[in-house]
Structure 1
């Protein structure tokens, strides 16, 4: 896989990913589904930031490195 995530894009994905994973812990019992979706989205963004590859960027031909 060729890297296609870098610079400001990588920072934004990392910060937003951490924020969404932390939001998972903040929800109470009445909103479990929404919290789970937020945690999965956050984990995906963190994975993109750490690996520096995004399949969506690849499909759209976007390269921010």
Structure 2
């Protein structure tokens, strides 16, 4: 793999890290609210973050 491709992969990984962090932060903030569905939404956001984390790990394996 050439340097340009590796740089692109690392750029994507950095963006995924940012997205994962934002999703987890939002999920944690939702837990502070009372209301129907907030826990469900929080769990789903954590699940999406987990899927993105798996994708990030797959990208690390390519480098």
Category of TM-score, reference length = shorter chain: 0.5 to 0.7
Provide structure 2 residue ranges, at least 5 long, that are not aligned to the other structure. 28-41
Please say which structure displays the higher CA radius of gyration. 2
Question: Runs of 4 or more off by more than 6 Å in structure 1?
Answer: none
**Aligned partner of residue 2 in structure 2, secondary structure:** coil
Greater helix proportion: 2
Q: For the Cα contact (< 8 Å) 1:19–1:42, is it kept in 2?
A: no
State the TM-score, normalizing by the size of structure 2: 0.56
Show the 5 A alignment for 1:24-35: 24-27=20-23, 28-29=26-27, 30=42, 31-35=45-49
State the TM-score, normalizing by the size of structure 1: 0.55
Q: For the Cα contact (< 8 Å) 1:17–1:45, is it kept in 2?
A: yes
Aligned length: 45
